């Protein structure tokens, strides 16, 4: 398997809690999609879920090669986890940027506890025909 890049991030949950407390809806709208806000707000330990998604977005940016001008955090989405784990959806300029970098897919792993959230991302090119 060829890999374009990897990224990892760890964040203190209290940092995200303070950002939400300080900036409220403005912070949530700039960083998270509507679906992410609905998912995180509806969960127990919602701050851990917000923090894990923040860490994932940071890790994804590192894996692809750094966030260029014009890519907004809410163009990177970590939807509710399905049976096969967390997924990544890219929209708008984030999707265009990833394609320009040769990225076809980003795989992630998330983890959190009461105090910290962490994420790991791998950016992958299109699969070559076998």
In a domain, 103, yes or no: yes
Q: Are 11 and 55 in contact (CB under 8 A)?
A: yes
The reply to whether 76 falls in a domain is yes
- Residue 130 included in any domain: no
Domain count, the chain: 1
Q: What is the pTM of this model?
A: 0.93
129, part of any domain: no
- 32 close to 52: Cβ distance less than 8 angstroms: no
CATH at 85: 3.90.470.20
26 located within any domain? yes
Mean pLDDT of successive 10-residue segments in the chain (130 residues)?
Answer: 95 98 97 97 95 98 87 95 89 96 97 97 89
Task: Judge whether 77 and 88 are in contact, CB under 8 Å.
Answer: yes
Q: Is residue 91 part of a domain?
A: yes
Predicted pLDDT of residue 81: 78
Residue 56 included in any domain:
yes
In a domain, residue 49? The reply is yes
Structure-token match 């994804």, residue found = 60
Residues of the domain holding 78: 5-124
DSSP string, the chain: ---SEEEEEEEEHHHHHHHHHHHHHHHHHHHS-HHHHHHHHTSTTHHHHHHHHHHHHHHHHHHHTSPPTT--GGGEE-PPPBTTB---EE-HHHHHHHHHTT--EEEEEEEE-SSEEEEEEEEEPPPPP-
pLDDT at 69: 79
Model pLDDT, residue 130: 65
């Amino acid at each position: 398997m060829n890999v374009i890049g990897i990224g990892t991030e760890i964040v203190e949950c209290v940092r995200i809690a303070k950002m939400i407390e300080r900036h409220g809806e403005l912070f949530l709208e700039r960083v998270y999609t509507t679906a992410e806000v609905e998912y995180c707000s509806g969960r127990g330990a919602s701050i851990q879920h917000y923090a894990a998604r923040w860490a994932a977005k940071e890790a994804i940016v590192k894996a692809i090669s750094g966030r260029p001008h014009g890519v907004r955090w809410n163009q990177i989405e970590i939807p509710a986890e399905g049976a096969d784990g967390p997924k990544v959806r890219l929209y708008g300029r984030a999707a265009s940027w990833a394609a320009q970098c040769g990225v076809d897919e980003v795989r992630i792993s998330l983890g959190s506890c009461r105090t910290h959230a962490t994420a790991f991302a791998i950016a992958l090119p299109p699969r070559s025909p076998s």
